[in-house]
A = this chain, B = another copy of it.
Amino acid sequence: MPIQIHKPTLLLNEIICKDNIKRMAAKAQQVGVRFRPHFKTHQSGMVGHWFMQEGITSITVSSVSMARYFAAHGWDDICIAFPMNLAEITELNRLAKSIKLKVVVESAKVVDQLGSLLENELGVYIKVDVGAGRTGIPMDNSEKVKQVYKRICHFPLMHPEGLLAHAGQTYNTRGIDAIAALTAKAYDQMNSLRLYLDNSDLLLSWGDTPSCSMLSELPPFDEWRPGNFVFYDVMQYHIGACQLSDIAVAIACPVVAVHPERNQVVVYGGAVHFSKEFIEADKGFRMYGYVVELTDAGWGEPIAGAWLSGLSQEHGILNMPDHYMNRIKPGDIVGVLPVHSCLTVSCMREMYTTQGHLVPCMK
């Protein structure tokens, strides 16, 4: 590897990442859906530029700060896919003056407050809850959706964009058939809602990496907003949304201690680098990442029987099989594929390509 590792360093395999971008962009183009990738995973102007090179012109972000960052990086069609935060109205007005900004609402009262404070044109999506249970108007409450829709139409500066859903429950769903079924059901419900609102111009906006990655054919949504696919991670591999070879990021960690008596290695690389996201199995087993060997070109397959088993603030504990314990020593550098790349990037806030180039992220 052309970069020397002194401390935990987030590595990005540019080739894998660009392949992930190209594959999803091509899939969207083939079915003619508008591709509005979510940029919360990479939070990087440079990675964003790789999307531009594929002809992408519209994006999704998860905060006003992120919208401002990407507007400064040349994006002029940005949807903030997060319930409208009235406390940021000043910044929102400023942004809406210079770019085609879209926000997401789920309450008529919020629409009214927004309407009274708005100074520039704004696209407005209505958030619907297709079963994730996090936020959005429950699908069976079509009256509330209509009420919100009417309030949007009431304000000349607001343009009703469509119905927006994030099927977060795909993360707890296993198997392509189950994911296909919930996607089909959500589409039918959203389409019925659109008919009920009697406006065929409303977009049905859909987005989650598992469904957009796993299904060879999705229902005819108008817009896709997956995000994680740009890097993928161990969680997506467990869901079945990617191959291990599609994972584009790994943290390089210096080995600082070895404990052959319990088959454990201590690395510099802790909760402040990985986040504390984990995959849980029975008997309290927690797994925070897969262990890989670093190579000149990047990293190899995960080492069978090795995993990141514990994290404190700066320490990581790797459980390792016997034959690796014999050859690993303090001063070595190992790689770890993270369980959740979005949170890991947010912890690290910069990456290095495996060619050694710095990739800054939003600070």
Chain A residues near B (Cβ < 8 Å): 5-7, 40, 62-65, 82-88, 90-91, 106-107, 109-110, 113, 133-135, 138, 168, 254, 256-259, 261-262, 266, 268, 271-272, 275-277, 310, 312-315, 317, 329-331, 333, 342-343, 346-347, 363
B254/A85 in contact, CB under 8 A: yes
For A342, give the chain B residue with the smallest CB separation. Answer: B313
Given contacts A330-B109, A330-B110, contact A135 B257 (CB under 8 A): yes
Q: Indicate which residue in B63, B65, B268 contacts A85 across the interface (CB closer than 8 Å).
A: B268
Q: Would A82 and B272 be within 8 Å (CB), given that A7-B88, A257-B135 are in contact?
A: no
Given A271-B275, A330-B110, A363-B363, A87 contacting B7 (CB threshold 8 A): yes
Q: List 30 A-B contacts (CB under 8 A).
A: A7-B63, A7-B64, A40-B313, A62-B314, A82-B256, A82-B314, A82-B315, A84-B330, A85-B254, A85-B256, A86-B254, A87-B254, A87-B333, A88-B254, A106-B257, A107-B257, A107-B330, A110-B330, A110-B331, A113-B330, A113-B331, A133-B262, A135-B256, A135-B259, A271-B275, A275-B276, A276-B276, A276-B343, A313-B346, A347-B347
Q: In the complex, what residues of B have CB within 8 A of residue A91's CB?
A: 6
Partner of A343, one of B110, B313, B346: B313
Taking the nearest CB of chain B, how far is it from the CB of A165, in angstroms?
15
Smallest beta-carbon distance A311→chain B, Å: 10
Chain B residues with CB under 8 A of A7? 63-65, 85, 87-88
Complex Cα distance, B82 from A207, in Å, reads 42
Closest chain-B Cβ to A76's Cβ sits at a distance in Å of 22
Contact of A330 among B6, B83, B268 (CB under 8 A): B83
A212–B168 CA distance with the chains assembled, in angstroms: 43
Distance from A359 Cβ to chain B, minimum over Cβ atoms (Å): 17
The answer, among B113, B277, B314, for a CB contact under 8 Å with A276, is: B277
Could you tell me the distance between the alpha carbons of A222 and B331 in the complex, rounded to whole angstroms?
31
Which residue in B134, B272, B347 is a CB contact (below 8 Å) of A266?
Answer: B134
Closest residue on chain B to residue A65 by CB atoms: B7
CB distance from A284 to the nearest CB of B (A): 10
Q: When the two chains form their complex, are residues A256 and B343 in contact, meaning their CB atoms are under 8 A apart?
A: no
- Give the residues in chain B near A63, CB-CB below 8 Å: 7, 268, 314
Are the C-beta atoms of B83 and A266 separated by less than 8 Å? Answer: yes
Complex formed: what's the CA distance from A354 to B272 in Å?
Answer: 25
Given A7-B88, A272-B346, 19 further pairs, Cβ under 8 A: A6-B91, A7-B63, A7-B85, A7-B87, A63-B268, A82-B315, A83-B330, A86-B330, A88-B254, A106-B257, A107-B258, A109-B329, A135-B257, A138-B261, A168-B312, A271-B275, A275-B276, A276-B277, A346-B347
Cα-based distance from A70 to B82 in the complex (angstroms)? 38
Q: Is A343 in contact with B268, judged by CB distance below 8 angstroms?
A: no
Return chain B residues, CB-CB under 8 Å to A64.
7
Q: Do A266 and B135 touch across chains, with their CB atoms under 8 A apart? A: yes
Q: How far is B254's CA from A113's CA once the two chains are assembled, in angstroms?
A: 15
Give the docked Cα–Cα distance between A334 and B256 (Å): 41
In angstroms, how far is the closest chain B Cβ from the Cβ of A332? Answer: 9
Shortest beta-carbon distance from A279 to chain B in Å: 12
Q: Would you call B317 and A134 a contact (CB within 8 A)?
A: yes
